[in-house]
Structure formats: C-alpha cells, structure tokens
Structure 1
Amino acid sequence: MDLQTLTYIVVGFTFALYMGIAVWARAGSTKEFYVAGGGIHPVANGMATGADWMSAASFIGMAGLIAFMGYGGSVFLMGWTGGFVVLAMLLAPYLRKYGKFTVPEFIGDRFYSRGARIVAVICLIICSVTYVIGQMKGIGVAFSRFLEVSYDTGLLVGMFIVFFYAVLGGMKGITYTQIAQYCVLILAYTIPAIFISLNLTGNPLPQLGFGSTLVGTDVYLLDRLDQVVTELGFAEYTTQVRLSTTNMFAYTMSLMIGTAGLPHVIIRFFTVPKVKDARSSAGWALVFIAILYTTAPAVAGMARLNLMSTIEPAPGQHLAYDERPQWFKNWETTGLLKFEDKNGDGRIQYTADTATNEMVKVDRDIMVLANPEIAQLPNWVIALVAAGGLAAALSTAAGLLLAISSAISHDLLKGVIMPDISEKQELMASRIAMAVAIAGAGYLGFNPPDFAAGTVALAFGLAASSIFPALMMGIFSKRINKEGAIWGMIGGITVTLLYVFQHKGIMFIPGTSFLGGMDANWFLGIEPNAFGVIGALVNFGVANLVSRLTAEPPEEVQELVEHIRVPMGVTEAHDH
C-alpha cells in the first residue's frame, strides 16, 4: 500500500476515534464542560495531562530545535520537566483543595477583587493565545505534510477539526479524547525512535543508543554528528550553548516557572475527585511525560545526522537536486523546505555560510515528522508519526482553547459582567468564545512569530511573569493584598511584553523570528523568549512593595490562605 493511502487510513482512524469520544462524552453541564464533572481517575487524568502538556512544541518543535541548537536545546528539557515538578509540589494540590473551576476565579477570591480577576483573565488570554499560535503552527505543519498541500491550507483544515471536538465536548470530551491522543502520540514518537536507533547503533533503546557507537564502527554517534556539522561550518553539536550561560539559566527558569503558571495545565487538576488525587495525577503525568522527554534528545541528534548525511554524503560530495529523494519532494510541496541553486551547478550545497548555502529554508518543525522518511522506515511508521504529530497539536490546542473560553464565559461574563446568567447561557457563551479563539489563533498562525517551540517558549515567559507569581503569593503569603496582586501582574507582563516588542518589533509580522543572534542591547544578554523570569521578579517586587504600602488583607482572607495550606484532617486531629 502506498504511503499516502496508508496515512489517510491511520490518521482517519485516529480522528474517527477522537470525534467518537467527543460525541460520547459530550458535556451537558458547566461542571462537565469546565472540569469534566470532577470525577476523573488520577491515572487517567495523568495521561490526559501528559497529552495536554506534550503539545506540538514537545512532539514536533522541541526535538527540531534541539537538532539545530545542539546542547543549548537542553533548556527545553530542563525547563519544562522541572516546571512540572514545581507545579505538582507547590501549586496543584492547594488549588485543587480550594475547589474552583478556573485560575482567575481563585485569584479573584483570594485577592477579594473583581479587578484582580479581570487582570488575571487578560493575562491568561494573552498567554494562552500566544501558546495556541504555537499549536496552530504545528497543526499547519502536520496537516500540510499529511494532505500534501501548502502550510496555509493545512492550517485551515486543522482549525476545522479543532473546532469540532473542542467546542462540542468541553473538558469532559477533551479529557477522554486526550487519553486516546496520548496513546497515539507516545507510540508515534517512540516506535520510529526505536527503529532509527536500531539502524544507526544496533541499540533498541534510543536513550542508550544516543550514547552508543555506530553500527560496524567504533565511532560514537555524537562524535560522528560533531564531525559532520563542523565540516559544514556549523557549531559543534555537543558543546553549543544557547548564546550565553546567563541566557541559558534565564531561559530554563522562565520555562520552569512558566510551566507552573500555565492555566490550561493547572485546570486539569480540578478534574480529580480529591486533593490527594491531584498530587497522584501530577506524579503519573510526570511518568507519562518522561517517556517522550527522555527520548527527545536522541530523536533530535539522529534526525540531524540523517538529514546532513543524506544531503551531504561527504565533504565536497553534494547531492544532485534532480536525484533528491522522495521525502525531499514531499516537504518541498509544503513550502517548509526550499532549495535555491545559487551557483547553477544543479547540486545541493548545505553549509553554515548563508552566502553559499542553497538550503534556504529548513523549517525546524519538520524534523520529527520527516525523520522516519529520511531514515527510509516502513510506510506504516511514517503514517503513525503523522497521526502522532496531529494528536499532540490538537490535544493541547483543545486544552488551551478551553482555558480561554472558560476565562471569558465563567470569569468575565458570569463572574463580573452578567452574574445572573443561566448555566445554559454560560455554556453557549463558552462555546462561542472558543470558536472565536480558534479563528483568532488560526489567523495569527498564518504568520507565527517563531517555530512552534519558540512561540510556546514566549507564552511560558508571559505566564511566568504574570500568573505564576500571583498564584505563589496567593497561596504562601497572607500579606499580599489586592492592590499588590493587581499591580504585580500588570507590572510583570507589561515589562515582558515591552522587552519583546522593543527588541523584536511587534509580533506576528511576517519574517519576524525570536531565534536570531545576540543583540548588544539585551538586558544582561537575555533574549526575549527567556525574559519571563525577569518579569516574574518585577511582579514579586511590585506586589510586595505595594502590599507593604497599603492595607493588610481582611482577616477572613488571611484565614483562607491558612486553610488552603493546611492538609485535610489536620484541624480535626488538633480538635481531639
């Protein structure tokens, strides 16, 4: 069976499964729409959280960035996984104990202010819409290859699919759909990695194969990769640092605390029955996430080696363009891979020198999806990877859109503007908000400010500078009042946005990218994507200063903070 037919069958089957689940688990109430009724088992919720968390940035973008950034790409691995531990230990159980539907609702109640709730909604929408744009980039990449159409056409098709099952099912449908999507995406990620590791090193475990010698030689895979990239003028793969050590640290911290402040992940912990289940869910999610994240460095390194070795079999031996393999032609159709014959010799020169480099576009986001084709794996494996890429992008896009819609309908409409609205009207408003968010994010996805993982990193920085500090201070500090929280959030996200705009212009202008070289005017050499940690420090500083200069929170609010932090059953034990 040819690849295109097989891909249609595999992807079509997975989509039929997702849509069937969405119809079966259709939300009938606001509680089911927002938190799936609050009755999801911790293991199932951990799997759904894993799918929600491992977006197009993880499945498609992360390994692609590591493939070209080398060692410097480790910021994504350390930041995202480390952040999940922070979320599991410091935020999730306390927010679950509080028992509200959304993050802005907690902030509004804790800081006894509609104003705080509105600011939190605005911050949430800014972060989530930026994040969704990264998912839309991944959806466009995956659908363009799967359907063999342009990126723009692929994105339009993907928007329609997301609209169907996210708007219909709400959190209940999304949860069960994400469990299925996790199974698809993890198989799609690990099976090709096992094949390629076996082909290159003879070791079936990619994590170990990455540090092994190549088949039939005593040369280590990483040594060979270093040799290949340096011969073509690129930086050495294993020592390449992302701009500077300070920038690496800031980037890692921004991703870490941004993870703990992302509302679409936090909201998942409201779907389990008990507080203990929130911790358990986080533990299971970390296990499910680790399977992909420990495999990603191997996928990245092997993909880069396969790509370079195919186009440049040896120094000075350039592949003839007319003899380019089928995978090359397939990706050229999408517009994400482009060749320009600068010297007219009909051969492909791929070098680090932009003046002579004829591979004028190699989109980082194609690496994971193209890798099985480059490695000439069986067609069913290539089809499975296409299905996995789509599952990863669609699962997170759905979770993010739910966070956006619930912020608008539940926090803004029900909580502030129209408190007497009926449950049926609130549900309808939420679905309309989600549809508008899909349209807006899809439009912005036509000109994303970065590759999928880069755009997502920017969203993490915005969450780090606005939502994370407000949650941390809300849980662990009785002294922070409404004025402090409001001005802290405003100060943190404003500083971060101004820094991004100042150094890279207004987002979403075609051709704008956050992966350029070092800018002499960067603060402490920190790039825009990593600036969220500075915004967070501004947030903490402003909130504490303003709170010290204004009245203490009411006594009942301070008691609420105390209650949130005390484990269930402790007060009863003291009474006896």
Structure 2
Amino acid sequence: MSTQALIYLFVGASFALYIGIAIWSRAGSTKEFYVAGGGVNPVVNGMATAADWMSAASFISMAGLIAFLGYDGSVYLMGWTGGYVMLALLLAPYLRKFGQFTVPDFIGARYYSKAARTVAVVCLIFISFTYIAGQMRGVGIVFSRFLDVEVEIGVIIGMAIVFFYAVLGGMKGITYTQVAQYCVLIFAYMVPAIFISLLITGNPVPQLGLGSVVQDGSGMYVLEKLDSSLQAMGFGPYTDGSKSMIDVFCITAALMIGTAGLPHVIVRFFTVPKASDARKSAGWALVFIALLYTTAPAVAAFARINFNQTVDQTEYAQAPAWFKNWEANNLIAWRDKNGDGVMQIAPGAAFEGAPVYTEGGSGNSGERLLDNAATDNANEVYFDNDIMVLANPEIAQLPGWVIALVAAGGLAAALSTAAGLLLVISSSVSHDLLKSTFKPDITEKGELLAARLAATAAIVVAGILGIYPPGFVAQVVAFAFGLAAASLFPAIFMGIFSKRMNREGAIAGMVSGLGFTFLYIAWFKLWNPADNTAEHWLFGISPEGIGVVGMLINFAVAIAVARMTAQPPAEIDRLVESIRVPRGAGAATGH
C-alpha cells in the first residue's frame, strides 16, 4: 500500500473513532456538557488532560523550537511541565472542592460580583481564541501536506470533525475522545523517535539515545556531533544559550504560571468526583505529558543532525523527495545566491520578508515567502521550524506507515486542544454570561442549546482565524500563557489563599495585568517589531516572559485596591474556609 493510501487510512480511522466516541457519549444535561457529569476516573482524566494540554504547539512545534534554539529551547520544557506541579499543589483540589463548572464561576462567586465574572470571561475568551487560532492553522497545515488539499480546506475539515464531538458530546464526549487522541498522539510521537534513535545511536530509548555515541564512526556523542556541525556552518554551539538569566527565568516562570491559569486546563479538574481526585488527575497528567516532553529534546537533536546531513552542501538537483514535498507548501525553500546549484545553510534569513519564527508560537505555517532573496548573508535555505516533527520520518526514510501515523498524531494533538478550548469558550458564553449574568431564569434545556450554539459559533470564528490568520496569530500562541499568568492566575490564587481580597481589588488586578501584558506584547510584536531586541526590553525581559511582570502588577494593584476598599462580606470568609479546610478537620475523633 502506498504512503498516501496509508495516510488516508490512518487519518480516516482515527476520525471515525473520535466521531463514534462522541455519538456514544453524547451529553444529555448541562452538567455532562460542562464537566462530564463530574464522575470521570482520575487516570482517565489525567490522560484526557494530557491530550488537552499537548496541543499542536507541543506535538508539532516544540521539537522544532529546540532543534533550532538548542539550549535556549529548554525553557519551554521546564515551564510547561513545571506548571503542572503548581496546578496540582496550588489550584486543582481547591477549585474542585468549590464544585462549580467554570473558572469565571469561581471568580464570580468568590468575588461576589457579576462584573468580576464578566471580566474573567473577557480574559478567558481573549486567551482561548489566541490559543485556538494556531491549533486550527496547524490542522490545516497537516491536511495540506499529507492529504494534498489546500490549507483552507484542511481547516474546514478540522472544523467539521471538532463540531461533531465538541458540540454533540460536550465535555463528556471531549473527555473520552481526548483519551483516544492521547493514545494516538503519544504512539505517533514515540514510534518515529524510537526508530530514529536506533538509526543514529543504536539505542532504542530516545531519552538515553540523546546521551549516546553517534553510529557514524566519529566516536562523538550526539550533542558533540551537533555542536561540531553547527559551528562548522557558522552557528553557535547547540549546547550554549544566548538568553540572559533574567529572561530565562521570566519565560520559564510565565509558562509555569500561565499553565496554572489556562482555563481549558483548569476546567478538567471539575470533572472528577472529589477534590483528592483532582490532585491525582494532575499527577497522572504529568506522567502522561512527561512521556512526550522527555522525548522532545532527543527528537530535536536527531532531527537537526538528519536535516544538516541531508540538506547542507547537497546539490538542489539531487535534493531528497521530502524536500520537494514540503517545498510545494512553501514551508521550506531554497534560493541559489552564489549560482553553484548547491544548498548552503548559514546564519541569517534566506529571504527578505520571510516569516521570522517566534519562540513558543505554533509557527508560521501556511504563510508565503516573498520572492527576493536576502543578500547580506550566505544562508540559502528557509525552513519552517513547525515541520520538523512532521517531516522527521521522511527525512530519516522511515516506512510509510510511520509517516501516516505522525500525520494522525499531529491532527490528534491539534484537535484535542481545539475541542477543549471551544468548550471553555461556549461554557463561558452560555453559563457565565447567559445563565449567571443576563438570563438567570433560562431552563436547563435552553442553556444546553445555548452552549451548543455558542460552541458552533466559536468553531466558525476559530476556523476563520485559521483560514485568514491575522499577521500576529502564529507569533502569539505561546503568549496566551503570559496573558493567563497576568490575568486569571492571581485572581484565582488570591481567591483561595487571601480572605482579604475583595471584588474591587480582583477586578482592578485582572484589568491592569492583562492590559499591561497585552500592550507590551503588541508593542514589540505588532507595532514595533524592529525594536524587539534585548536593549529595548523592560529589564531585559522579552515579550515571551513579560507575563511575569504583568502578574506582579496584577498582585500589586489588587492588594493596594483591596486595602483601600471594603472587606468582603462574612459569607465570603466562610466560602474561602470551606474551600481551604478539609471536611471534618478539627472534629472530635472520639479518642
């Protein structure tokens, strides 16, 4: 069977599985739609959370980031995984004990204010749409390359699939679909990693292969080989970092804190039976996530070695088939600057106006290169980092079924996160704005219909953003973490651990943190990209890490405003106590 036929088979079978699960687990009530009935097993919920979390950015982009950033890419591994420890210890069990459906639910009740709830909804929708646009674009790119359709058609197909299991099944359908998607994506990630580790080092365990000797007779270890080859092409060593310590710290912290404040992740912990299960879910999610995240550095290093060996100093007429395949999608390109017909990789942009890859984004996938070549450097090859994982099996000349598996895995990663984000958006509109704010007398049937209509509208908007992305969409997917850290996390944290925090402080903090972080990002990424250098950054902190400063501003403003305004009512003190103190604590034991 041809590779293309295998791709159709694998992708079609996975889609049939997702839709079948959605039909089987169709939501019949608002509780099932919002939180899957609140009865999901912690292990199952941990697997679903891992799939929800590991988006197209994790599956498709992260190894590409590390492959081309080297040591600097480690901040994403540390931040994204470390955030789950914070989530498990600081937030998950308390929010589950609160026992409601959404993050704005908690903020609205804790801060006894419809205005606070509405501000939280605005923050949530802003973060979620920022994140989801990249997922839908990722779906379009995978379809474009592997199914030979236009990127726009790929996005539309992805919209249709998500519609079935998100709108019909709600959180109940999404939960069990995400379990299947996790199995698909982790298998799709690990199989080629094991193959390539065997080919390069002879070690079948990628994590161990990263520290092994390369099987090319050089006697070098993998990272030594990379350092040597990159330095020969004029790059800095792969194992050296270029970021300042404060920027590394802030990016890592922003990703960690942002993880603990992402609404589509937090809502997963409302789906388990009790508070202790929420902590168990976070622990299982960390285990499932670690399988991919500990493999990513090895995948990145192996991919960069293969890429350098098969492209640099190769005659274009003898270019491998995978190069031509991806070139057709404008995700890799070559311009012969010196007229020798040989592809040469060197520092600098190969093309004037070529999309500049931004750390943490889901990539520049689908954007078209301009025709004029850059003349101030010797680099002749443009390579979109986002295709590294997807192209890796082709570069390593693995069997067709492995290529098909990776295509199915990439789609599973993008669709699972897109579905979770869409549900969060629809729940915020139907439950937090409609039911809890503007139309409290709506029936459960009416609310469920509104939730499905909101999900449908959100899918349409997300699809439009995927088909016609604003120029900055590909650059700001990771900035959703900074926005979450600067807006929702402080309000949730203080809502649990500070009885003195009131509605005025929380609202002022959320608005100031979100406003500062968004304006800082917009200044360097939208309005003045030419100034996006360390000498122009505040305290040397890049836009990727500025969410930490936004968070500190949020805390400072919230505390100051709370001190100058009235204390929360007595019932809020009792609510905070009920969230923080285990049931039965302090009761007589009879001994």
TM-score (normalizing by structure 2): 0.92
Partner of 1:315 in structure 2?
A: none
Say if 2:71 is the partner of 1:49.
Answer: no
Q: Name the counterpart of 1:110.
A: 110
Number of aligned positions between the proteins: 563
Match of 1:295 in 2: 295
Q: Aligned match of 1:384 in 393, 405, 408?
A: 405
Mapping 1:14-163, distance limit 5 Å: 14-163=14-163
Amino acid at match of 1:345: D
Q: Which moved more, 1:65-74 or 1:432-441?
A: 432-441
Say whether 1:526 aligns with 2:541: yes
Unaligned runs of 5+ in 1: 313-317, 507-511
Match of 2:228 in 1: 227
1:255 aligns with 2:262: no
The equivalent of 1:542 in structure 2 is 557
Distance 2:330 2:235 in 1: 24
Q: Which secondary structure state, in structure 2, belongs to the residue aligned with residue 528 of structure 1? A: coil
- The aligned residue for residue 509 of structure 1 is none
Shift of 1:575: 9.6
Structure 2 counterpart of 1:236: 237
* TM-fit CA distance, 1:574: 7.0
* 8 Å CA contact retained: 2:472, 2:526: no
Could you list the per-position Cα deviations for residues 169-214 of structure 1 after superposition, in whole angstroms to 9, with x for gaps in the alignment?
1100000000000000010011110100000001111001001111
Aligned to 1:6: 6
* Structure 1 residues 287-344: Cα deviation after superposition (integer angstroms, max 9, x where no partner): 11111110011011111111111101xxxxx212222111112112222112223333
1:174 aligned residue: 174
Residues 1:338 and 2:333 aligned together: yes
Structure 1 range deviating more: 12-21 or 439-448: 439-448
Match of 1:447 among 458, 466, 469: 469
1:395 partner letter: S
Question: What do the CA deviations read for 1:144-168 (whole angstroms, capped 9, x no partner)?
Answer: 1221234333333322322232222
Distance 1:488 1:72, change over 3 A: same
Paired position in structure 1 for 2:487? 466
Any residues of structure 2 matched to 1:207-222 within 5 Å, and which? 207-215=207-215, 216-222=217-223
Q: Secondary structure at the match of 1:66?
A: helix
Query: Using the alignment, how far apart are the partners of 1:3 and 1:67 within structure 2?
Result: 26
Q: Deviations over 1:333-368 (max 9, x none)?
A: 222112223333332222114334554531111000
Alignment of 1:277-288 (within 5 A): 277-288=277-288
Once the two structures are superposed, the pairs formed by residues 495-514 of structure 1 within 5 Å of their partners are 495-505=516-526
The alpha-carbon deviation at position 430 of structure 1 amounts to 1.4
1:329 counterpart residue number: 324
Q: Aligned-pair distance for 1:451? A: 8.3
Partner of 2:366: none
Residue 142 of structure 1 contacts residue 386 of structure 1 at CA under 8 Å; is this kept in 2? yes
Moved over 4 A (4+): 356-360, 448-452, 573-576
* Cα 1:371–1:96 shift into 2, 3 Å: same
| Structure 1 match to 2:359 | none
Matched, 1:553 2:548: no
CA contact (8 A) 1:151 1:335 kept: no
Partner of 1:265: 265
Residues 348-357 or 72-81, more deviating: 348-357
Q: Distance in 2 between matches of 1:220 and 1:427?
A: 57
Q: Give deviations 1:471-518, integer Å, cap 9, x for gaps.
A: 000000000000000000000000001111122226xxxxx989x962
Query: Quick one: structure 1 residues 154 and 252, their matched pair in 2 at CA, closer, same or farther if it must change by over 3 Å?
Result: same
User: Judging changes above 3 Å, is the alpha-carbon distance between structure 1 residues 218 and 451 closer, same or farther for their aligned structure 2 residues?
Assistant: farther
Partner Cα separation in structure 1 for residue 189 and residue 160 of structure 2: 25
Aligned-residue offset at 1:448? 5.7
The residue type paired with residue 199 of structure 2 is: N
Q: 2:346 aligns with which of 343, 346, 351?
A: 351
Alpha-carbon distance between aligned partners in 2 of 1:264 and 1:528, rounded to the nearest angstrom: 23
The one-letter code matched in structure 1 to 2:31 is K
For residues 409-444 of structure 1, give each alpha carbon's deviation from its aligned partner in whole angstroms, at most 9, with x where no partner exists.
100111101111111221122122222222222322
The residue that corresponds to 1:203 in the other structure is: 203
Q: Taking structure 1 as reference, are residues 159 and 235 closer, same or farther at Cα in structure 2, changes over 3 Å only?
A: farther
* 1:79 counterpart letter in structure 2: G
Q: Give the letter aligned to residue 362 of structure 1.
A: F
Q: Which whole-Å CA distance do the structure 1 matches of 2:550 and 2:134 have between them?
A: 21
Counterpart Cα distance in 1 of 2:240 and 2:412: 33
Corresponding residue number in structure 1 for 2:371 = none
In structure 2, distance between residues paired with 1:513 and 1:108: 37
| CA RMSD between the two structures | 1.8
Alignment partner of 1:414 is 2:435: yes
Q: Which amino acid aligns with 2:320?
A: P
Query: How many Å separate the matches in 2 of 1:565 and 1:441?
Result: 37
Secondary structure of 2:469 counterpart: coil
Query: Distance in 1 between the 2:160 and 2:252 partners?
Result: 34
Q: Is the contact between residue 472 and residue 525 of structure 2 (CA under 8 Å) also seen in structure 1?
A: no
Q: Distance in 2 between matches of 1:22 and 1:5?
A: 26
Distance 1:374 1:451 in 2: 28
| Residues 458 and 37 of structure 1: CA distance in aligned 2, closer, same or farther (over 3 Å) | same
TM-score with structure 1 setting the length: 0.94
CA contact (8 A) 2:347 2:379 kept: no
Structure 2: which 5+ runs fail to align?
350-374
Equivalent residue for 1:475, pick from 486, 492, 496: 496
1:93-121 Cα offsets, whole Å, 9 max, x none, are 00000100000000000000000000000
Percent identity for Structure 1 against Structure 2? 63
Alpha-carbon distance in structure 1 between the residues aligned to 2:338 and 2:78: 42
Closer/same/farther in 2, CA of residues 307 and 433 from structure 1, 3 Å limit = same
Contact 1:137 / 1:451 at 8 angstroms: preserved in 2?
no
Q: Which amino acid aligns with 2:54?
A: M
Match of 1:429 in 2: 450
Pick closer, same or farther for the CA change 1:323–1:486 going to 2, 3 Å.
Answer: same
- Greater shift in the superposed pair: 469-478 or 332-341: 332-341
Change (3 A) 1:292 1:450: farther
CA distance in 1, matches of 2:398, 2:506: 54
Aligned equivalent of 1:365: 386
- 1:275 aligns to what? 275
Q: 1:398 aligns with which of 405, 419, 444?
A: 419
The 8 Å contact of residues 32 and 172 in structure 1, kept in 2 or not, is answered as: yes
Q: Which amino acid aligns with 2:431?
A: H
